[in-house]
Amino acid sequence: MINSTTDIKPLFVFSMPRAGSTLLQRLLASHESISTAVEPWILLPYIYTLREKGIYSEYGHFLLVKAVDNFCHQLPNGQNDYLAEMRMFILRLYSKAANNNATYFLDKTPRYYLIAEELFRIFPEGKFVFLWRNPLAIVASIIETWEQGKWKLYRHKIDIFDGIANLVETYEKYGNQAYSLQYEALLSNPATELQQLFAYLDLPFNPASNTQPIELKNQVLGDPTGVKQYKSISKEPMSKWKYTLANPIRKSWCRQYLHWIGKERLGVMGYSLDELFTELATIPFNSHLILQDLLLIPYGTLYCAIEPTLIKHKMQILPNWQKLHTHT
C-alpha cells in the first residue's frame, strides 16, 4: 500500500547500459503522468547495506552489514521493517522530485540490474520494464561511447557479464509482474510498442506526443551521444554496431560471448543464438585495430586480476603519508 503522504508509484526500467534506456526514458517522460530524473542511483547504497560483498569502503563494509543485521534483529518485524522504512523513504524522495500531476516516478538506473530482485520485493506496487537489446550491439556501443573504439571491455565486465545474467534471472522469476520490450522493436514500430507499454501502465497513449522523446533536465549521466545525435526515433543504431566488431579478433570474442550467454538466456531476451551467429558471420572482414586489440586483450586479463582501481586509491594517499601511520 502506498504511503498516505504520497500517491506516487515507482516505475523502473531495467536494462544493460547502452541498451536504449535513455531513449525509452525520454519517451515515457513525454507523458504528463510520468516524472523522472536522469539516473538517480539512490537505491544502490541502501540495498547494499544488507550485502557483505560488492563494496570497498573506508569504514569497513563487512562490519557495517553485521551491524545493520544486528540492528534489524531489534526491530519488531526484523529486516522487513528495515526494508519497509527504506521503501517509504525512497517513495517520499520520488514524490518530492515528481511533478504535482504525476502518477509515476520513473527511476532509470542501469546498475539496478544488480538489485532488481530486491526492488520487486520492496516495491510490490511498482511497475517494471525490462528493455533488451542485441548484446553484440551493446558491446559495440560501449566501446564506441566510452572507449573511443578501443577494445577495453575489461572496464565493463560487470555490465556485460553480471548485468545480463542478473537481468535474465530476475525476469525469469518475476516476468509475470513486468513488461518486456526489445530495443529493436521499439525503433521499428514505436507507436505499436509504446501503445502496449502505456497500456501496461494503465495510461492513455497519444501517438502524436508520446512517440517524440523529450529533453531531460540536468543531463549529467545517461546517454551522452544519442541525446545529441537523435532528436527523434531513428533505426540507425540497429546496424551501425557491425563496423565496430568487424575485425577477426573481435568477431572471435563475440562468438565466445554468445556461447557464454547461451541459447536459453538469449531466448528469454527474445533473440535467437543461431540468428546472431549468422548475423555476426555476415559482417565483412575489417583489419581495423587488430594489433591494438592483440595488446589490449592480455592487458585486460591482467587488469581484472589485479584491480588497479584499488591500487590507484592507495597511491593517491601516498602524498599524505601520515595516513599510512608507518609508526604502527
- Residues 127-139 have pLDDT tens digits of 999 999 999 999 9
- Residues 88-137 have pLDDT tens digits of 999 999 999 999 889 999 999 999 999 999 999 999 999 999 999 999 99
Better-scored residue on pLDDT, 202 or 225: 202
CA atoms within 13 A on the CB side of 87: 21
Residue 308 belongs to some domain of the structure: no
Give the whole-number percent of the chain exceeding pLDDT 70: 85
Residue 247 belongs to some domain of the structure: no
The alpha-carbon radius of gyration of the chain (Å, integer) is: 22
With bands split at pLDDT 50, 70 and 90, how would you rate the model's confidence at 49? very high
Residue 173 belongs to some domain of the structure: yes
Residue 291 belongs to some domain of the structure: no
Given this model, what pLDDT does residue 4 score? 39
Give the CATH number, domain containing residue 49: 3.40.50.300
Residue 164 belongs to some domain of the structure: yes
* pTM attached to this predicted model: 0.88
Residue 225 belongs to some domain of the structure: yes
Number of domains in the chain: 1
Given this model, what pLDDT does residue 1 score? 34
With bands split at pLDDT 50, 70 and 90, how would you rate the model's confidence at 287? confident
Q: Which domain holds residue 43?
A: 9-135+156-233
- Residues 142-165 have pLDDT tens digits of 999 999 999 999 899 999 999 999
Residue 260 belongs to some domain of the structure: no
Residue 326 belongs to some domain of the structure: no
State the average pLDDT over residues 179-196.
96
